């Protein structure tokens, strides 16, 4: 009897849309993170993604400076010979997978979710290119704060940016109430 009363009170107080979102979000996150892990383990796919991202960073960096060469997934400063490796952790696939899970857990229509996912992926990768350009520029200096930026500053920026992207896309594509 006591369990039934507690369960009944729990059901009355729970925010069912939020609870549904949370359950779907966690489940989808697990599945999508597993897929990301498998992509990172697959040599050919990982190499294509990393080298494509390296090319994008190179093109973006060339806007500001010609002091860059690439070799596979390595960004190299020709003058200092310092380099940055664009590896699996640089691809932002885990962040995108989390954002995709959040988008798929929303009550939007399937076509709206697809548009939101495409826009979110583009926005996250644009921010990722800016991040890697900044880190590459930082690594060229003999005394630099690469680890501070890489491990702390950009991690916070990535998290905050993903929340803002999700919020803006969710708000933009939500039906307008009159």
State the pLDDT at residue 6.
46
In this prediction, residue 9 has a pLDDT band, given cuts at 50, 70 and 90, of: low
Total length of the chain: 178
More confident residue, 3 or 145: 145
| Each residue's pLDDT tens digit, 120-156 | 999 999 999 999 999 999 998 889 999 999 999 999 9
State the pLDDT at residue 178.
59
Asked whether residue 28 carries a pLDDT value surpassing 70, the answer given is: yes
Model confidence, pTM: 0.86
Q: Does some domain include residue 94?
A: yes
Can you tell me the mean pLDDT for 10-19? 73
Q: Does some domain include residue 5?
A: no
Domain that holds residue 141: 15-41+88-173
| Each residue's pLDDT tens digit, 51-110 | 999 999 999 999 988 889 999 999 999 988 899 999 998 999 999 999 999 999 999 999
State the pLDDT at residue 5.
47
Tokens at 157, concatenated: 């920026």
Instruction: Please tell me the total count of domains within the chain.
Output: 1
Angle (CA) 141-76-88 rounded to 5° is 105
State the pLDDT at residue 59.
95
Can you tell me the mean pLDDT for 15-42? 93
Q: Which residues lie closer than 8 Å to 22 by C-beta, 6 or more apart?
A: 105
Q: Does some domain include residue 151?
A: yes
Q: Does some domain include residue 76?
A: no
Q: Does some domain include residue 92?
A: yes
Q: Does some domain include residue 30?
A: yes
């Amino acid at each position: 009897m006591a369990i039934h009363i507690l369960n009944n009170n729990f059901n009355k107080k729970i925010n069912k849309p939020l609870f549904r979102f949370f359950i779907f979000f966690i489940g989808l996150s697990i599945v999508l993170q597993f897929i990301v892990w498998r992509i990172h383990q697959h040599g050919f796919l990982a190499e294509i993604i990393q080298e494509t991202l390296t090319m994008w960073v190179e093109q973006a960096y060339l806007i500001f400076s010609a002091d860059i060469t690439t070799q596979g997934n390595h960004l190299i400063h020709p003058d200092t010979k310092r380099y940055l490796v664009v590896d699996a952790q640089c691809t932002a696939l885990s962040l995108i997978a989390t954002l995709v899970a959040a988008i798929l857990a929303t009550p939007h229509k399937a076509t709206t979710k697809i548009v939101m996912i495409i826009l979110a992926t583009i926005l996250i990768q644009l921010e990722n290119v800016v991040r890697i350009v900044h880190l590459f520029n930082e690594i060229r200096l003999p005394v630099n704060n690469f680890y501070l930026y890489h491990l702390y500053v950009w991690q916070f920026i990535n998290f905050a940016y993903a929340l803002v992207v999700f919020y803006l896309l969710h708000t933009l594509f939500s039906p307008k109430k009159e």
